């Protein structure tokens, strides 16, 4: 089996905020050095770096970050894009690489600088001037490719989840994130050593938040943000009985018009394959791009509310798209330090994609290793 020896992340700051001056590799490199030190490994031990990046400059951000962090030149770096799910998928890819015998140590995660994202223009073959676009197509059918906020508003109507319920989830997310304090495994970047967006969100403030569409407001959807998250994934030879074990992971496609519920098939598949029930879980980290999406996944997967996002989620910090899945995994590792057992991380992505990761720590990890 493979294990995660260490997990760290940067602060998450809203777009054009505290981290706006940093390029993607500058967000990653300090976190990479910290997570490697936490794992007690040398730079020469690393076989590969896999990073998710959805909005960045192109090229190979993972390679640039690996070089900036002082890793050997032989570490090629691999950058992937699966939008919001990419950071979690980087961990699953690292797991697969190690199981295949390609490497013993892979650093996996994601990074996004919404502040520094390039402007994108679509060229035309008929001589028309290039046209600016914000959202890339996620299906070949424009009529089945809604904007994310539109899909969330429709989901709220379909599931009959009220604005009050969404606001209550957002308020709880901020409250949990505030209470989590120093256990968040944050690596300071300059003067920024915390998530500056996290606050005591009062019900009256949430109620006055601008409406974006339907029941979706500025309070119950996550803000665009900058940040990075990384995990050290290792073989049994390097783990030597340490860390949280990866006991399952799946990425599956689902209904492109309801991307918020896309994690449900992946969650069900990973639990079934590991013979784990929802009441076996000690903690679950579920993406909060929108409160309605988190509620829909929590209810649809029949997860006990009290185990979901004990440190808060993206509603309380922001959503650095390519990094969010990795940050969920970092949160999960931190939560398992307090509640040892089996933990689940799950995230939705545009186009109807869902990813899920299952970890075990403490005595449960030992039990899975023996199994």
Query: What is the predicted pLDDT for the residue at 370?
Result: 44
pLDDT(116) > 70: yes
Looking at the domain assignment, is residue 313 inside a domain? Answer: yes
Residue 302 host element (H or E): none
Looking at the domain assignment, is residue 275 inside a domain? Answer: yes
- The residue-averaged pLDDT of 343-352 equals 96
Q: Say which of 25, 84, 174, 192 is annotated catalytic.
A: 84
Query: What is the predicted pLDDT for the residue at 235?
Result: 96
Query: What is the predicted pLDDT for the residue at 363?
Result: 64
- The residue-averaged pLDDT of 202-231 equals 96
Total tally of structural domains belonging to the chain: 1
- The residue-averaged pLDDT of 102-114 equals 97
The pLDDT mean for the chain works out to 94
- The residue-averaged pLDDT of 96-116 equals 97
Give the phi and the psi of residue 363 in degrees, each rounded to 5. -65, -30
Looking at the domain assignment, is residue 204 inside a domain? Answer: no
Centre a 10 Å sphere on the Cβ of residue 253 and count the other Cβ atoms it contains: 13
d(CA 241, CA 256): 41
Looking at the domain assignment, is residue 164 inside a domain? Answer: no
Closest to 328 measured CA to CA, from 354, 347, 342: 347
- The residue-averaged pLDDT of 13-20 equals 97
Query: Residue ranges of the alpha helices (H) in the chain?
Result: 24-39, 61-68, 86-99, 148-159, 163-180, 203-207, 236-239, 263-273, 291-300, 321-338, 363-370
Centre a 10 Å sphere on the Cβ of residue 98 and count the other Cβ atoms it contains: 25
Task: Please state which of the ranges 21-30, 134-143, 192-201, 307-316 shows the lowest mean pLDDT.
Answer: 134-143
pLDDT tens readout for residues 256-278: 999 999 999 999 999 999 999 99
Those residues with Cβ within 8 angstroms of residue 153's Cβ, 6 or more apart along the chain or in another chain: 213, 214, 215, 216
Looking at the domain assignment, is residue 312 inside a domain? Answer: yes
Query: What is the predicted pLDDT for the residue at 241?
Result: 87
Query: Does the annotation count 319 as an active-site position?
Result: yes
Confidence class of residue 72 from pLDDT cuts 50, 70 and 90?
A: very high
d(CA 25, CA 23): 6
| Count of CA atoms in the C-beta half-sphere (13 A) of 267 | 25
pTM for the predicted model, two decimal places: 0.94
Domain range for 24 is 2-117+221-370
Confidence class of residue 228 from pLDDT cuts 50, 70 and 90?
A: very high
d(CA 184, CA 8): 8
pLDDT(367) > 80: no
Q: Say which of 25, 183, 319, 371 is annotated catalytic.
A: 319
What percentage of the chain reaches a pLDDT higher than 90?
Answer: 87
Query: What is the predicted pLDDT for the residue at 183?
Result: 59
- The residue-averaged pLDDT of 348-353 equals 95
pLDDT(166) > 70: yes
Query: What is the predicted pLDDT for the residue at 259?
Result: 93
d(CA 76, CA 65): 10
Query: What is the predicted pLDDT for the residue at 57?
Result: 81
Looking at the domain assignment, is residue 233 inside a domain? Answer: yes
Query: What is the predicted pLDDT for the residue at 58?
Result: 83
Task: Please state which of the ranges 10-14, 49-53, 130-134 shows the lowest mean pLDDT.
Answer: 130-134
Beta-bridged to residue 234, according to DSSP, are 3, 105
Query: Does the annotation count 84 as an active-site position?
Result: yes
pLDDT(362) > 80: no
Residue with tokens 């998250």: 229
Q: Which two tokens stand for residue 42?
A: 């040398």
pLDDT(226) > 80: yes
CATH code of residue 348: 3.40.47.10
Query: What is the predicted pLDDT for the residue at 182?
Result: 62
CA dihedral 353→252→173→19, nearest 10 degrees, is -60
- The residue-averaged pLDDT of 39-48 equals 97
Looking at the domain assignment, is residue 34 inside a domain? Answer: yes
Query: What is the predicted pLDDT for the residue at 366?
Result: 52
- The residue-averaged pLDDT of 201-212 equals 94
pLDDT tens readout for residues 54-69: 998 888 999 999 999 9
Query: What is the predicted pLDDT for the residue at 83?
Result: 93
Looking at the domain assignment, is residue 363 inside a domain? Answer: yes
């Amino acid at each position: 089996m493979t294990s995660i020896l260490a997990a760290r992340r940067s602060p998450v700051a809203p777009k054009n905020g505290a981290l706006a001056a940093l390029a993607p590799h500058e967000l990653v490199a300090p976190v990479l050095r910290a997570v490697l030190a936490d794992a007690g490994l040398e730079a020469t031990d690393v076989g590969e770096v896999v990073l998710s990046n959805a909005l960045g400059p192109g090229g190979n951000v993972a390679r640039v970050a690996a070089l900036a962090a002082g890793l050997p030149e032989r570490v090629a770096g691999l950058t992937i894009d699966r939008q919001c799910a990419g950071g979690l998928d980087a961990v699953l890819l690292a797991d697969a690489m190690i199981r295949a015998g390609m490497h013993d140590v892979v650093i996996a995660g994601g990074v996004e600088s919404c502040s520094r994202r390039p402007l994108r223009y679509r060229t035309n073959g008929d001589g028309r001037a290039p046209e600016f676009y914000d959202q890339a197509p996620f299906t070949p059918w424009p009529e089945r490719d809604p904007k994310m906020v539109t899909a969330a508003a429709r989901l709220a109507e379909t599931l009959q989840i009220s604005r009050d319920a969404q606001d209550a989830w957002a308020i709880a997310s901020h409250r949990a994130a505030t209470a989590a304090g120093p256990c968040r495994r944050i690596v300071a970047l300059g003067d920024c050593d915390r998530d500056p967006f996290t606050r005591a969100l009062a019900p009256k403030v949430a109620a006055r938040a601008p409406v974006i569409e339907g029941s979706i407001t500025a309070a119950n959807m996550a803000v665009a943000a900058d940040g990075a998250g990384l995990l050290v994934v290792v073989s049994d030879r390097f783990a030597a009985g340490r860390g949280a074990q990866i006991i399952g992971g799946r990425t599956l496609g689902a209904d492109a018009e309801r991307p918020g519920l896309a994690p449900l098939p992946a969650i069900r598949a990973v639990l079934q394959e590991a013979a784990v029930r929802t009441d076996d879980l000690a903690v679950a980290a579920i993406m909060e791009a929108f409160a309605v999406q988190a509620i829909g996944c929590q209810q649809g997967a029949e997860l006990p509310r009290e185990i979901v996002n004990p440190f808060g989620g993206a509603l309380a910090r922001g959503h650095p798209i390519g990094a969010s899945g990795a940050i969920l995994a970092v949160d999960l590792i931190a939560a398992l330090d307090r509640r040892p057992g089996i933990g689940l991380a799950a995230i939705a992505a545009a186009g109807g994609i869902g990813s899920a990761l299952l970890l075990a720590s403490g005595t449960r990890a030992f039990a899975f290793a023996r199994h």
